[in-house]
Structure 1
Amino acid sequence: MSKHRQSRRDRRRAARNATTMAAPLAAEAPDATAEVSETSEAVAEAVRRTSTGLLSASVLMAAGTIVSRISGFVRSALIFAAIGSSLNADIFTGANTIPNALYILVAGGIFNVVLVPQLVRAMKNDSDGGEAYAQRIVTLGLLVLGIATVVLVIATPLLVRLVFDHRLFDPGNEDALSSAYALMRYCLPQVFFYGAFVLVGQILNSRGRFGPMMWAPIANNLISCAILVTYIVVYGSSNGSDGFTSGQEILLGVGSTVGIAVQALVLVPYLRAAGFHYRPRFDFRGVGLGHTLKLGAWTLAFILVNQVMFVVITRISTSAGLLALADGDADPAGTTVYASAFLITQVPHGVITVSLVTATMPLISRLAAQGDLRAMRSEIQSNIRLVLALLAPIAVAVFALSEPLGTLVASWGAMEGRTEAVSTTIAAFAPAIIFFSLHYMSLRGFYALEDTRTPFFLQLVLATVNIALAVAFATRVDPQAISSVLAIAYGCAYLVGSLLAITVLSFRIGPVLDWSALGFLARLVPACLVAGAVILACGNLLAEPLGLDGDDKVTALVTLVVFGGLGAAAFLVMAFLLRIREVTTVLRTIARR
């Protein structure tokens, strides 16, 4: 073997070892998107520096996400207080949710999972650090979003018929149907602002500025909260099914859209701070956009499958309010209950998984581009172990504490004392906290490999399972249980999806779940079971002696803090005894930060 070939092999081995051995949860490092030279020695050094900074970036993003989610909780509570959980609430929730789904259908998949690797490559390879490429992307994106938004507003009647259950069009529901049309029109411009927000945010992420995108939604939540408080002051609380007045529709619909617009605008000043100066560019040909769009074709198909699933679930959930109206039932569990419970159980995913994956995606993409699959697999394995170590005990706690969680979020205004359906739905969503994040992380491995085809087929299987189970379950229960069985169907679908995704990814990069991972799970599971048992035992044995057996919001908050704290302490003790190092490393890093 020549000295040149031996030296090159040694350099590749050094690069792999630098990633495999470097602790991914250390404290300080430069930006994750620092420019990397073509030599293997520089790659190894960049990987060393980047790996040590991942948790620092993740902690910053997690902090923003926590504050954002807390404000989101307040917003959910205000929705229950202002308009309850019956048909009116489902109409508003549906109209306000659809724009995000439509944005994702139009362009979100391309913006979210294709552009970051492409932007990183442009920053590395282009003489201007990728600025011209990013300018073209922003110009093209805004054009597509603007045209799509106009078309969607014109197509409002079709969208309402597509999204809402067919019973909404029956005689006697004319007022509710009119409100659905109005709210949809007022909310659909959000599609443009969602797209602008993600476009700007992904440019910031590709330049290592992860925090602003995580903190910006707080502005939207604050505006939404102000709108709902204004609604309560002006119109009072209700839990109706007869639609809204024109003034209520303007306040709720236009106010929600203003919140999304502000969310996008607050990111703009950070672009200049990140060194990016935007000017419109329309020279789209010959600059590699065709490659990006080719990758995005499969992603668009993936998103299409996802949105078909979303529409089916939305139609089923809106049927709860309409069935309850026909039966004279005042406590349906439809779209609003489902969405609020989903929001609660997505908090751990947003705080932990999204923060970590956003910080590590440039690194994983860079390793994939270098062909270092061993180092890439090691990084993904580390991420999975870290996320499971943090999410699994949270999922157990959410299940065990679902009753006080439901009380704290939903027992307001017209909903006070009527939160059983919310609590049950939260408990039903708890397993999905784990499975959704596993699936999410596995798909990022394919995207780093620039494989958008495989995730499409994986999502096709997942959506089929979710829809089949949702339809089968929902047709067999009363309106009060529809949101709960939909949550169970969701968790089952993501269990299947995560196992399938990990299996297929293992064929590409090597075993993701190896013997060390099984050993990790053998230590994590008993630690979580002990924590869950402590919470349940405290609830059964100590609630009455401590005066925590009531159903008011103060009692619920104290219960969450006291019994949740005891469960957390039990888990940390078990983590120390069983040597779950991911937990102790996180605690040390947070303490240093």
Structure 2
Amino acid sequence: MNRPPGPPDPATPGTPGTPGTPDGSGSSGADREQSSVLSSSAVMAAGTLVSRLSGFVRSALLAAALGLSLHADIFTIANTIPNMLYILLAGGVFNAVLVPQLVRAMRNDPDGGEGYTNRIVTLAGLFLLAVTIALVACAPTVMSLYLDNDFDDPALAEQLDSVIAFARLCLPQVFFYGMFVLVGQILNSRGVFGPMMWAPIANNVISVATLGLYLVAFGPASGPELEAGYTGTQELVLGLGSTLGIAAQLAILVPYLKRAGFTFRPRFDFRDAGLGQTFRLGLWTVLFVIVNQIAYTVVVRLASGGAAAGGDGTGYTVYSSAFLIVMVPHSIITVSLATAILPRLSARAADGDLRGLGTTLAASLRTALAVVVPVAALLPLVALDAAHVIWGYGAASDGYERYAPSLALFAPGLVFFTVHYLMLRGFYALEQTRTVFLVQCAVATVNVTAALLLVRQVSAAGTTPALVVAYAFSYAAGAVISYSVLSRRLGDLGGRRTLRFLARLLCVVVLSTGASALVAFGFGAWDSDSSWGASLARAALVTAFDVVAFVGLARAFRIGEVTSVISQVSGRLSSRRRA
């Protein structure tokens, strides 16, 4: 539903330099709300941080056991497809449309949204179950969509058989992914944010145990194994272990529903039950997801071709592993903020308060960029050492350098993706899913076009870096388009205040990262050791120096968004110590 733009957001009066308030302004209702958002985000961020750290262990063990070539891509692609298919079939509706609809049902329905929520859970469960069964039955056809034509070569018949076997074992994850996100969004709509961020740790723990068992039983891949398929026993261990992990994170989440005041009772009276608006909004979101997944399918196919070429080619394993690392600040900060503010944005939109919606969203954007921009600037300095520390083991020990270019090149894409991601939350709160679809068409078009053009110009070793550059181009376009359109819809999105903030932030980042580059150069000149320990020490020293320099300069430049995040984190740490 479209709404006219609201009045401009006036500048918040206050005394310059007041600590703990964004942009150095004094205390205001908007700043108090942002403090509440940060508090809710901190709970989710803590869970996400632990989850991501355990994910690092999983990624390191995966590289140690399977390497980073064709052997690894066989499993990685098959284990990634269920998440892609879940997102394609239902994820957009669950992630974006459902929370605003749940909030409206809780506010407007006589039963507080209980009937609406029960119908949604019943219908979604039946749909996901039917789709999952169909996908498992059609596994060979499904996988043919995501694999490069090189896999049609009879010489790769063994590898193709393993991909299909893994797909049959992993595709049941579609059901568990869907129900996990659905249950998590019900909790989020009721103000319970933490469990959804902490539950994935169970998945990572089971994955780590599975990979540990695999290493003990079969050892790291080596020699010809790095390009080969798997035995039936190996497929069972990796495939069942991966699916069990996704099921476990759903099982952990379910008990929190009752604590949040919701008890599931199946409801099959779907007609005239208020689901029509959800489906109408979901239609555009489904189209959005289809466009997005078409682009991602192209990326996976191109990446699988890089791995199938053999030698020093880079494929989907390198792409996905580098993406996992780069998304850490996004997951900890941006996703936590977006999850915390979406119910608030939805409430503002329901009340017609577009000025308040813009104020909340702009403040969250500045907070996210205050963390993401310095991380993105630091990443190229530590990319090679980070690749050595995370993946320099076992089957990947001789090829970890292939991760570094992709890690470094993902940095600008991270910043653009952060802006685009938060802007979409504003559109979803306004129920303008058609606009989101049109914006994503532009993003996907740029991504596919750039990927096809760039991959043709590089060798197999440059496949993944080329795909990363295409990713950055696409989200640069998305960030510009989504911010411009939403700003016009709202009348204002704090543009002047955000520009002043960005000018100071970039000054601080240039100074802190420049000084850190000198430290990295000096460390390399003093100690040219290329061992794992030296890489760890170098990465830790440069990162620590950069953090200290950035925080000190941010205080000097009075960047309140940085001090707010630091105050929130230090306050939580102090409260834990007192407890």
TM-score range, shorter chain: over 0.9
2:50 maps to 67
CA contact (8 A) 2:57 2:208 kept: yes
Decide which of 451, 456, 475 is 1:470's aligned counterpart: 451
CA contact (8 A) 1:19 1:375 kept: no
Equivalent positions of 1:552-591 (< 5 A) are 552-591=531-570
One-letter code of the match for 2:538? T
CA contact (8 A) 1:417 1:551 kept: no
Shift of residue 515 of structure 1? 2.0
CA distance in 1, matches of 2:11, 2:117: 31
Decide which of 112, 127, 137 is 1:144's aligned counterpart: 127
Deviates further, 493-502 or 567-576: 567-576
CA distance in 1, matches of 2:11, 2:93: 31
CA distance in 2, matches of 1:75, 1:259: 12
One-letter code of the match for 1:165? D
Q: Which gives a bigger RCO, structure 1 or 2 (Cα 8 Å, sep 6+)?
A: 2
Tell me whether 1:375 sits opposite 2:361 in the alignment.
no
One-letter code of the match for 1:248? Q
CA contact (8 A) 1:421 1:484 kept: no
Structure 2 residues not aligned, in runs of 5+: 1-5, 22-27, 573-579
Decide which of 205, 221, 234 is 1:222's aligned counterpart: 205
SS of residue matched to 2:530: coil
CA distance in 1, matches of 2:184, 2:11: 30
1:30 maps to none
Equivalent positions of 1:428-447 (< 5 A) are 428-447=409-428
CA distance in 1, matches of 2:535, 2:418: 28
- Length-normalised TM-score, structure 2: 0.92
Equivalent positions of 1:133-282 (< 5 A) are 133-239=116-222, 240-282=226-268
Shift of residue 416 of structure 1? 1.1
Decide which of 376, 386, 403 is 1:395's aligned counterpart: 376
Tell me whether 1:285 sits opposite 2:279 in the alignment.
no
Please give the per-residue CA displacement for 1:58-92, whole angstroms capped at 9, x wherever unaligned: 00100000000001111111111001011111111
One-letter code of the match for 2:537? V
Please give the per-residue CA displacement for 1:538-591, whole angstroms capped at 9, x wherever unaligned: 11113343x4x3333222222222111111111112211211111112212222
CA distance in 2, matches of 1:150, 1:20: 59
Shift of residue 417 of structure 1? 3.7
CA contact (8 A) 2:20 2:567 kept: no
One-letter code of the match for 1:550? D
Shift of residue 49 of structure 1? 7.6
SS of residue matched to 1:556: helix
Shift of residue 491 of structure 1? 0.8
CA distance in 1, matches of 2:12, 2:238: 50
Please give the per-residue CA displacement for 1:14-35, whole angstroms capped at 9, x wherever unaligned: xx999999x9988xxxxxxxxx
One-letter code of the match for 1:536? A
Please give the per-residue CA displacement for 1:450-503, whole angstroms capped at 9, x wherever unaligned: 110001011011011011111111111111111111111101110111101101
CA distance in 2, matches of 1:296, 1:72: 31
Tell me whether 1:494 sits opposite 2:480 in the alignment.
no
Shift of residue 126 of structure 1? 1.8
CA distance in 2, matches of 1:579, 1:19: 16
Shift of residue 269 of structure 1? 0.9
CA distance in 1, matches of 2:491, 2:402: 43
Decide which of 119, 131, 142 is 2:102's aligned counterpart: 119
CA distance in 2, matches of 1:565, 1:279: 52
2:302 maps to 316
CA distance in 1, matches of 2:208, 2:250: 18
1:409 maps to 390
Please give the per-residue CA displacement for 1:228-274, whole angstroms capped at 9, x wherever unaligned: 11111111101511200000011111110011000111001111111
CA contact (8 A) 2:513 2:546 kept: yes
CA distance in 2, matches of 1:412, 1:481: 22
CA distance in 2, matches of 1:225, 1:494: 32
Structure 1 residues not aligned, in runs of 5+: 1-11, 27-43
One-letter code of the match for 1:408? V
- Length-normalised TM-score, structure 1: 0.90
Shift of residue 513 of structure 1? 5.4
SS of residue matched to 1:524: helix
SS of residue matched to 1:284: coil
1:482 maps to 463
Percentage of identical aligned residues: 46
SS of residue matched to 2:154: coil
One-letter code of the match for 2:409? A
1:7 maps to none
Decide which of 30, 34, 53 is 2:36's aligned counterpart: 53
